[in-house]
Amino acid sequence: MSVDARDRTARLPPVTQTTQGATVWLTGLSGAGKSTIANGVAQRLAADGRAVEVLDGDELRAALSPGLGFTRADRDAHVGRVGYLARMLARHGVIALVPVIAPYAGPRAAIRAAHQSEGTAYVEVHVATPVAECARRDVKGLYAKHAAGQIAALTGVDDPYETPEAPHLRIDTTGTDVSAGVDAVLDLLHQRGPE
């Protein structure tokens, strides 16, 4: 497993030892392991009595963005809405775990900046599982559908994914246990407050 954690200097008490909320955005390709890790982290935090919410990509698309598709503009609009919701939750003590692809760097940076400007903790985790492994897993059957010509604009295949340049944590889940990724995220949360 490759875990690349940066800038672990905490300026405030660790987010998991206070009632402070945080947004933990897990970005990466479909099937990378974002939801699996987010749910594992959520379970562990909830067991510690923390208020947690997993803002799952597909569920949120139906709830917040039913009219939006997968053009760049629509993806950006959807990501912006999710970021706004996460920030509202995090501001009020919830740890919002967001396993959403968020393929473009601009909206990711804007959400990070919006959190920082109001002192709300924000953590970016790049679940950097390579597309070949994601396609091998093909959890939702999207890669097979794409190969069969039934869908287009699949992130990392024929639609862009802008790799995060400075995530707080980068995890390639290939050949690793889910618990390794969950532990890495929890370690990060235990060590840092807002930027």
x/- mask, ligand ADP, residues 125-164, rule CB under 6 A, reads --x---------x-x-------------------------
Let me know: does 23 contact 115? Beta carbons within 8 Å.
yes
The two structure tokens encoding residue 33: 């392991």
Q: Which of 82, 74, 109 is nearest to 98 (CA)?
A: 82
- Residues 170 and 34: their CA atoms lie apart, in Å, by 12
Angle, alpha carbons 183-184-186 (nearest 5°): 65
Q: Is 32 in the site for ligand ADP (CB under 6 A)?
A: yes
Q: Which of 21, 22, 25, 33 binds ligand ADP (CB under 6 A)?
A: 33
Q: Is 20 in the site for ligand ADP (CB under 6 A)?
A: no
First and final C-alpha spacing in the chain: 26
Q: Is 103 in the site for ligand ADP (CB under 6 A)?
A: no
E strand or H helix at 185: helix 178-191
Instruction: Locate all alpha helices (DSSP H) within 20-165, ordered by sequence.
Output: 34-47, 57-64, 72-91, 105-117, 131-137, 142-147
Q: Which of 19, 92, 177, 190 binds ligand ADP (CB under 6 A)?
A: 177
Q: Which of 15, 21, 31, 90 binds ligand ADP (CB under 6 A)?
A: 31
For residue 112, what are the contacts with CB-CB under 8 A and spacing of at least 6?
122, 124
- Residues 23 and 2: their CA atoms lie apart, in Å, by 22
Q: Which of 63, 113, 152, 178 binds ligand ADP (CB under 6 A)?
A: 178
Q: Is 35 in the site for ligand ADP (CB under 6 A)?
A: yes
Which residue minimizes CB distance to ligand ADP?
33
> How many residues of this chain bind ligand ADP (CB under 6 A)?
18
- Choice between 119 and 141, CB closer to ligand ADP: 141
- Choice between 32 and 79, CB closer to ligand ADP: 32
The two structure tokens encoding residue 131: 């597309």
Give least dist CB 129 to ligand ADP, A. Answer: 8
Q: Which residues bind ligand ADP (CB under 6 A)?
A: 28, 30-37, 99, 127, 137, 139, 173, 176-178, 181
